[in-house]
Amino acid sequence: MSDQVAILAELGVRPKSLRKNWKEARLYEISLANGEARVASGGALVVETGQHTGRSAKDKFTVRDATTEKTVWWDNNASMTPEHFDVLLEDFKTHLAGQDIFAQELFGGADLDHRLPVTVINELAWHSLFIRHLLRVPTDSEYASFKSEFTIINCPTFRADPARHGTRSETVIAVNFAKRMVLIGGTSYAGETKKSVFTALNYYLPTQGVMPMHCSVNTSDKDDAAIFFGLSGTGKTTLSADASRILIGDDEHGWSENGLFNFEGGCYAKMIKLSAEAEPEIFATTKQWGTVLENVVMDPETRELDLDDATLAENSRGAYPISAIPNASESGRCGQPKNLIMLTADAFGVMPPIAKLTPAQAMYHFLSGYTAKVAGTEKGVTEPTATFSTCFGGPFMPRHPSEYGNLLRDLIGKYDVDCWLVSTGWTGGPYGQGNRMPIKATRALLNAALDGSLNNVNFRKDDTFGFMVPEAVPGVDSKILNPRSTWADTAAYDKQAAKLADMFVANFAKFEPYVDETVRASAPKAKTPA
């Protein structure tokens, strides 16, 4: 195999050595030899990322040029001048010269008509292993004819200079659609690389009529595929791994005329407090050779993992190829969906664990992209904060939400998809008073939705949100279906529901000109106090 990478030759970068398309075992060996990682009992590779244990959303910039001026939604994307990008690229080239570097040629996208061939250049061996797990590895014949169309260069030891590069800090994620390139510096959180590929696909695919989505997907032998939209922490990864269903992917998918397809070939699961009972398939990957564990605490002597220890990060992660999950799809593709679920972790405890949405309500909630964040782990802090991240993936969406929204609206109509809203958040009161929804209950409700039985029960109309909520579902405690009745103080519930409704309305104002009357009428209405 030639150790040339076209993009490096084009850029005139001469590294000391280039490890191109190295396979898992060799990357394992070298990341250990280089002192980047350690091995856990069971065989997983354990790494620490230091300061950055999550994405640096505020350090992400998109190059603003004559084309992106018109195609990018600048209200939601910070801009960088082409000149600053060019200086940054020159400095990356200098940084790479004389180093031992890694390159992987991979596909973003399992749909043969819509995939993006990507070259990922890394400083760290474990990053090269990570992205090989996460994206789709070409076959030998695909390697032979591989023609890269997008480049990501990730140098964690690079330090951006705000004065020189127009950045905000030493950390930078610089996206240049004209040059088809992303430069990542000053962070070693591996999630930046996979979400950069996602950002690129979110920009390019709509021009091919393909809907890109921040969602997980699973299906069954009957090919009754389900889409699970949701912001970080709402349950995409957890709920899509289900022994009774075939996993297509846990985070990023496209919806084309051919059906649904995974952008990726691996998963990236949260490890904090992972339970062997509630999430057996994901738990098993922590004891497997090949899995990359990021910021998971391990006993230095016994090398036993402590998944409950958040000392290094609340956002500890495990990356593994999707084949590590039993019953996962090899092709990464399935048919047209039957159900579409929007996940929200409502920490106010106001939203029901499941509700049926009309297509107009689905559009309203898709553009809103609501979830809530709990206020950290400090004692006594009990007030959650609402987050509205449009399309359930604001940080990865370069285009105006109406472009994604219109694509989704047309697809839901064309394939007659049933839409649901599922809160995996708090029940019995808000965060601090109630409890997180039991995973078992969420799964039971989802199974009833996916097998069609939920269409045959009685529904009530929710006073605040106007969507239809089932009154009783076999195998689920009926009490949790009506959140108001789980609160000790129903007046407090009404007050909180009204507050949340107001937040939805205030957030949606910017989308009102882009939607029709049926979508505008899907806004929640504060219930007039009795």
Ligand X SMILES: Nc1ncnc2c1ncn2[C@@H]1O[C@H](COP(=O)(O)OP(=O)(O)O)[C@@H](O)[C@H]1O
Q: What is the set of active-site residues?
A: 55, 195, 214, 232, 236-237, 251, 317
Helices of type H across 34-115: 68-71, 82-96
Nearer to ligand PEP, 224 or 251 (CB): 251
109 known ligand binder: no
Per-residue burial over 211-227, b if 16 or more Cβ lie within 10 Å, else e, is bbbbbbbbbbeeebbbb
Q: Taking the complex as a whole, how short is the minimal distance between the CB of residue 269 and Mn ion, in angstroms?
A: 6
Among 91, 251, 279, 346, binds ligand PEP (CB under 6 A): 251
Structural element, H or E, at residue 500: helix 490-508
Q: Is 266 near ligand X (CB under 6 A)? A: no
Cβ-based neighbours of 140, under 8 Å, separated by 6 or more: none
Among 32, 87, 312, 439, binds ligand X (CB under 6 A): 439
Q: Is 115 near ligand PEP (CB under 6 A)? A: no
Give dist(CA 195, CA 174) in Å, integer.
Answer: 12
Q: Is 307 near ligand X (CB under 6 A)? A: no
The option from Mn ion, ligand PEP, ligand X, none interacting with 187 (CB < 5 to 8 A, set by class) reads none
The option from Mn ion, ligand X, ligand PEP, none interacting with 55 (CB < 5 to 8 A, set by class) reads ligand PEP
Q: Is 233 near ligand X (CB under 6 A)? A: yes
Nearer to ligand X, 176 or 424 (CB): 424
Residues in 255-274 at the binding interface with ligand PEP, rule: CB under 6 A:
268
Q: Is 390 near ligand PEP (CB under 6 A)? A: no
Q: Is 237 near ligand PEP (CB under 6 A)? A: yes
Give dist(CA 397, CA 385) in Å, integer.
Answer: 22
Give dist(CA 182, CA 298) in Å, integer.
Answer: 33
CB pairs under 8 A, 24+ apart, for 450-457? Answer: 450/220, 450/224, 450/226, 450/245, 450/338, 450/339, 454/354, 454/356, 455/418
Token pair 């999550």: residue: 54
The string of DSSP letters for 194-215 reads HHHHHHHHHHHGGGGT-EEEEE
Q: Is 232 near ligand PEP (CB under 6 A)? A: yes
Give dist(CA 55, CA 263) in Å, integer.
Answer: 19
Q: Is 344 near ligand PEP (CB under 6 A)? A: no
422 within 8 A of 341, measured Cβ to Cβ: yes
Give dist(CA 352, CA 471) in Å, integer.
Answer: 11
Cβ-based neighbours of 486, under 8 Å, separated by 6 or more: 349, 427, 428, 429, 434, 479, 480
Nearer to ligand PEP, 96 or 374 (CB): 374
Nearer to ligand PEP, 261 or 268 (CB): 268
Residues in 29-68 at the binding interface with ligand PEP, rule: CB under 6 A:
54-55
317 known ligand binder: yes
Q: Give me the residues that bind ligand PEP (CB under 6 A), please.
A: 54-55, 191, 195, 232, 236-237, 251, 268
Q: Which residues are annotated as a binding site?
A: 55, 189, 195, 214, 230-238, 251, 279, 317, 442
Q: Give me the residues that bind ligand X (CB under 6 A), please.
A: 230, 232-239, 269-270, 424, 436-437, 439, 442
